[in-house]
Structure 1
Amino acid sequence: MRRTHRKSRNGCAECKRRHMKCDENQPICAQCTISRRPCSYSTASTIPPQSPSLNYTPLTPGPSHAGEPPGVSSSYSPARQETFRPSVSSLDILVGNPSFPSTASGVHQDNHIHADPSDPFAVNMLHLRLMQQFSMETGRTFLLVPDDAEASTKIFLKAGLQHSFLMQEILAIAALHLGFSLPGKREYYHHQATGLQARALSIFNSTSLDVGPENCVAITLFSSLFAMHSLCDAVESCEKSSDKFLSACINSLDMHRGSRTITQHSWHLLLQTEIRPILHAEHLQTAFDQEHTTGGRTNACISWPAMVQSEYMDLLMKRNPEALVILTRYGVLLHCHRELWCIASAGEYLIKSIDRHLGSYWESWLVWPNEVIGTSLDYQS
């Protein structure tokens, strides 16, 4: 079922063009903040779009070593760990408090969220409710450890309590889940999810991080949750089989690009962490094998986007036919987890959208994905 919403007569031009609900926050609304699109109102000039990429500068580059993904060069030894510092421009557009002071170490200390800023002892009951939701239900969706939802949830919360940008996205995805669970309050919780997600992105982009053992896990988890959140929004707001859904899905994958660069250059660190089981899903075939060997007890469909190479994403952004055919295999992987609230019909929608986009010339390459979802498009229609 598509999500209905009140039309925003005073919304920005971009949200009106995309038929999205606009929160009318100025100068840039939450939707445009998240999607990095130019945001303009009838009485305001257009703000140029921010680059969706995180720029990184290796402080100590070195030769390639075994155990890291292809195309990444760095050196590592127990005696001397490398540090990579991504240079990120601040959005300066927040949903909530516009000020995010940073510490000398470059890591924000914004973990204490109060209902009343003037009272440091006030408790925000909404955020506690969202924390409970993630701890008891939402966190169990994202398996980082095969067949161990409790351990996976603990990994998320441990990293979230240390890094504010991840905690904000944890609360955002919990709010999104509550909206699905409570249809009568869907609009309210979706609004909370959008605001928390925009704030998470703003904190992340305004934080200067020295990527190392203490934060590489948080960055990777943030990337995965953020993109899955965006994909979930696409499933809710876009017509199935439409070019709009295909674009939304590809955009959600592209959101990984900046943090993926950081992830690749901290690969040797990640392989020593608690999330190493999900790092083996770099290739789609590996993801399928992982699904088979674990009986679907790991969400390779959630971890794979964080491992995709930038060259492939460039081809997807250009709608390269071969790249789109490969993406239908990811659609099959999503379809295998259609029982998850955050995926639902995403796999089916993705396959149908690509099938419609490519047309009959590529029909023979899409037989298997269409068989999996149990449909076949009529190209004469």
Structure 2
Amino acid sequence: MTPKASPASVTSSRRRRTHHKSRKGCKECKKRHIKCDEGWPQCANCISSQRCCSFQDSPDHRAGAASPAVDVRTTGTFDFSLPEAGTTGLRFAATHLICLHHAETHMKTYMALNGPAQPIIDLAVDNVAGAPFLLDQILALSALHLSVQDTSAMKKAYYHQQATELQTRALELFNQAREGEDSDDSTIPVFVFASLLGIHVLRETLSSLREDLSAFVDSFIHYVHLHRGVRTVISNGTWPAILQSDLKPLLCLPTMSDDLEKQTQGEETRKLNDFLSEYNSAQDSIKACQNALEHAQWMLDLCNQNPSREDVGIHATMAWPLLVPQEYIDALHQHRPEAFAVFAFYAAALHRYRTYWVFGESGSSLLSAILNTIGSFWRDNIGASIETMVIG
């Protein structure tokens, strides 16, 4: 699973470009003399380092600012359209038992976990009465993986339909549950559900990539808005509870991100960042792109920290869309070339882990589409590091 982690927490002791500390940062960041991203109700540094953020005890300090999180209770984020399913109610068939068995025996692999997946399944079974959507989403993701693995075209189509039906039912149950009163008992199941749902939709999004970059960007932005529901759940003070649960061994990024503080930052994004610093364009867009690029360097540094730990690189890559500011997503939606240039590093990371079933060959296709769209001017300013990463 991909936890909330940020590269901002690693800037204090690693040699990197200088920055101006925020005057509106939280007390913990000021005490640690590091740059605060001013995320509310908890900044990214406090979430990833498991500290109590002072923003939790105060109203949103950013006058007129829109919340960076997508509230999964009050918005229609999770109410996206899917084909109508024939499965209604809490009924389970033999196929569902096949999917459950597949999850018990293969979830560690298809979720790129560094520990046994049984705690996730146990959580779903223990909460089947209060959070039935979690078990349905576990079955849905298992069915989706079966649809990718099976060599029979007929079985591929069958399991994919099962995945769609189970996900539809999970979403219906989730939205019904969120209409009721909040319960502390549901916070961890909701977090896991959002993580599983995010992986599911990311796979569907990346596998839909064809030659039309514009259509893919729309689908990707839809995915980002969906998966960012995870951030809302974490920001509501549930992160300490998650880290104290049986899921803690499965959350690798906080520890790895802390270890990253001892290392020197990589150089892959330096050329583009230096160029953006001098580029004459919309100031808000440039700042957002530089922020997203900083997160891209954090992603790449985690990928390079221990190459044998592919699970870390995979989850760092899946975390990147959750960490970039909404202003960057807006710039990407507007097809701004600077946003596409940053997006190229994400595509390169996807390609690096192309053996992971969720990513597949999407990275190479996406990178080619981006480079063909932005032209030689921006390709030259991205730097040769992109080609080196893809060749590897």
Q: Name the TM-score class by shorter chain.
A: 0.5 to 0.7
**Residue of structure 2 aligned with 1:169, choices 120, 137, 140:** 137
1:227 aligns with 2:241: no
Which residue, out of 64, 74, 85, partners 1:87? 74
Contact 2:352 2:389 in 1 (8 A): no
In 2, Cα distance between the equivalents of 1:308 and 1:158?
Answer: 32
Q: 1:293 aligns with which of 301, 305, 310?
A: 305
Q: Following the alignment from structure 2 to structure 1, what is the Cα–Cα distance between the partners of residues 391 and 133?
A: 40
Between the aligned partners of 1:259 and 1:126, the Cα distance in structure 2 is 29
In 1, the alpha carbon distance for the partners of 2:40 and 2:304 equals: 29
Residue identity opposite 2:134 in structure 1: L
Q: What are the within-5 Å matches in structure 2 for residues 21-100 of structure 1?
A: 64=26, 66=28, 70-73=38-41, 86-88=73-75, 95-96=85-86
CA offsets, 1:269-316, max 9 Å, x none?
Answer: 445451543357793333323222333232322333344433332332
Change (3 A) 1:308 1:261: farther
Supply the distance in 1 between the matched residues of 2:181 and 2:304 (Cα, whole angstroms): 37
Aligned pairs (5 A) from 1:169-188: 169-184=137-152, 185-188=155-158
Amino acid corresponding to residue 143 of structure 1 in structure 2:
A
Structure with greater proportional helix content:
2
What is the CA-CA distance between 1:345 and the residue it aligns to? 0.8
CA distance in 2, matches of 1:357, 1:252: 22
Work out whether residues 150 and 156 of structure 2, in 8 Å CA contact, stay in contact via their aligned partners in 1.
Answer: yes
* Residues 127/241 of structure 1: CA separation in 2 closer, same or farther (3 Å cut): same
In structure 2, what residue type is equivalent to 1:183? T
Does 2:253 correspond to 1:278?
A: yes
Q: 1:345 to 1:97 in 2, by over 3 A?
A: closer
What's the CA shift string for 1:254-279, capped at 9, x where partnerless?
32233323323334544545154335
Judged with a 3 Å threshold, the aligned counterparts in structure 2 of structure 1 residues 131 and 235 are, in CA distance, closer, same or farther, namely same
For residues 320 and 184 of structure 2, the distance between their equivalents in structure 1, rounded to whole angstroms, comes to 21
SS in 1 for 2:311: coil
Distance 1:170 1:248 in 2: 23
For 2:318 and 2:157, locate their aligned partners in 1 and report how far apart those are by CA, in whole Å: 25
Distance of 1:284 and 1:216 partners within structure 2: 29
> How far off is 1:344 after superposition?
0.9
**Cα distance in 2 between the residues matched to 1:85 and 1:225:** 15
Contact 2:209 2:362 in 1 (8 A): no
- Give the 5 Å matches for 1:79-228: 86-88=73-75, 95-96=85-86, 113-115=90-92, 124-144=93-113, 147-148=114-115, 150=116, 153-161=117-125, 162=127, 163-184=131-152, 185-208=155-178, 214-228=185-199
Match of 1:257 among 225, 228, 247: 228
Q: Deviations over 1:29-80 (max 9, x none)?
A: xxxxxxxxxxxxxxxxxxxxxxxxxxxxxxxxxx956489741235969xx9
Q: Equivalent of 2:325, from 305, 309, 319?
A: 309
Tell me the distance in 1 between the aligned counterparts of 2:208 and 2:80. Answer: 27
Cα distance between partner residues in 1 of 2:27 and 2:132? 32
Could you tell me how far apart the structure 2 residues matched to 1:92 and 1:311 are? Answer: 22
| Structure 1 Cα separation of the partners of residues 27 and 365 of structure 2 | 40
Residue by residue, what CA displacement relative to the aligned partner does 1:152-184 show, whole Å, maximum 9, x if unpaired? x12422333323222222211111111121131
**Using a 3 Å threshold, how does the CA distance of structure 1 residues 92 and 327 change in structure 2: closer, same or farther?**
closer
SS in 2 for 1:339: coil
Q: CA RMSD in A?
A: 3.7
Letter in structure 2 aligned against 1:186: K
8 Å CA contact retained: 2:347, 2:364: yes
Please give the alpha-carbon distance, in whole angstroms, between the structure 1 residues aligned to 2:162 and 2:57: 39
Which AA in structure 2 matches 1:198? T
- Equivalent pairs counted in the alignment come to 284
Q: For residue 360 of structure 1, report the CA deviation from its aligned partner.
A: 2.7
- Once the two structures are TM-superposed, the CA of residue 198 in structure 1 deviates from its matched residue by 1.9
Which residue in 1 is equivalent to 2:348? 332
Q: Distance in 1 between matches of 2:373 and 2:224?
A: 18
Task: Describe how 1:238-253 pairs up with structure 2 within 5 A.
Answer: 238-240=209-211, 242-253=213-224
Do the aligned residues in 2 keep the contact of 1:224 with 1:306 (CA within 8 Å)?
Answer: no
The residue number in structure 1 matching 2:290 is none
Cα distance change of structure 1 residues 234 and 309 upon mapping to structure 2, 3 Å threshold: same
Judging changes above 3 Å, is the alpha-carbon distance between structure 1 residues 224 and 335 closer, same or farther for their aligned structure 2 residues?
farther
Provide the identity percentage: 25
Question: How big is each residue's C-alpha offset from its partner over 1:64-100, in whole Å with a ceiling of 9 and x where there is no partner?
Answer: 56489741235969xx999x9943569598635667x
Using the alignment, how far apart are the partners of 1:287 and 1:92 within structure 2? Answer: 29
Aligned to 2:265: none
In structure 2, distance between residues paired with 1:224 and 1:199: 17
Measured against aligned partners, the alpha-carbon deviations of 1:349-368 in whole angstroms (never above 9, x if no partner) come to: 22122223322331113443
Deviation at 1:190, TM superposition (A): 0.9
Instruction: List alignment gaps of at least 5 residues for structure 1.
Output: 1-62, 100-112, 116-123, 376-381
Distance 1:72 1:284, change over 3 A: same
TM-score by length of 1: 0.62
Q: Which runs of structure 1 show a deviation greater than 6 angstroms over 4 or more consecutive aligned residues?
A: 209-212
